[in-house]
Amino acid sequence: MEINVNGVTRAIASPPLTPLLHVLREELNILSPKIGCEQGACGTCTVLVDGEPRRSCLMPVISLDAASVTTVEGLGAPGDLSPVQAAFHEHYAAQCGYCTGGMLMAAQGLLERNGGPVERGQVIEALGAHICRCTGYVKIVDAVMAASRGEVDVAKLDELAEPEPGQPALEIPGSPA
């Protein structure tokens, strides 16, 4: 079988009932979806399937033949963040980062569905079943609202893309993967 992941068609060798989460992480080495409860309750494994947020721990890969899957790796890159990634950065909406991939994908799904500014209640509903254990939800909700309004400081992103010599690398060995 084949699935399209972040715009690239990938042949899948895993057994058909393997959860998409494990196919992404262990076969395709796409590490932004995190392993949490593996029961659909925490949201940290969330990806977009054909544009809709889905818990990848609950989806047998066979159910996704020819589907289009998007993960954080398909949103942006360190020098070219998507609006929702940039807003999370600006609003300090991540701490340990373990929930962040799922939060970003649920937020991206909301913004794509809505197509314009979203209200606090809409964000809370869209992220309601996502658990963050350290940042607190206010900054996350603020970031999603800002992204929906285009309130992202691009200048700051340019600074982020080109760190000064001696600054820590964006990819920190030992950080959650």
Measured at the CA of 150, the angle between CA 118 and CA 95, to 5 degrees, comes to 80
Distance CA 30, CA 22 (A): 9
Judged by CB under 6 A, does residue 42 bind ligand FES?
yes
**Contact with ligand FES (CB under 6 A): which of 95, 114, 122, 160?**
95
- Identify the residue among 10, 31, 38, 139 touching ligand FES (CB under 6 A): 38
Task: Indicate whether 133 belongs to the interface with ligand FES (CB under 6 A).
Answer: yes
Query: For residues 151 and 117, is the Cβ–Cβ distance under 8 A?
Result: no
Q: β-strands 46-49, 2-5: how paired? A: unpaired
Binding-site string for ligand FES from residue 51 to residue 70, where x marks contact by CB under 6 A and - marks none: ----x-x-------------
Tell me the longest C-alpha to C-alpha distance in the chain: 47
Q: Is 32 in the site for ligand FES (CB under 6 A)?
A: no
Q: Is 37 an interacting residue with respect to ligand FES (CB under 6 A)?
A: yes
Subset of 138-177 contacting ligand FES (CB under 6 A): none
Tell me if 48 contacts ligand FES by CB under 6 A. Answer: no
Among 70, 85, 135, 148, binds ligand FES (CB under 6 A): 135
Instruction: List the beta bridge partners of residue 52.
Output: 49
Q: Is residue 110 at the binding interface for ligand FES, with CB under 6 A as the rule?
A: no
Can you give 14-73 as a three-state secondary structure string?
CCCCCEHHHHHHHHCCCCCCCCCCCCCCCCCCEEEECCEEEEHHHCEHHHHCCCEEECHH
Binding site for ligand FES (CB under 6 A): 35-38, 40-45, 55, 57, 94-100, 132-135
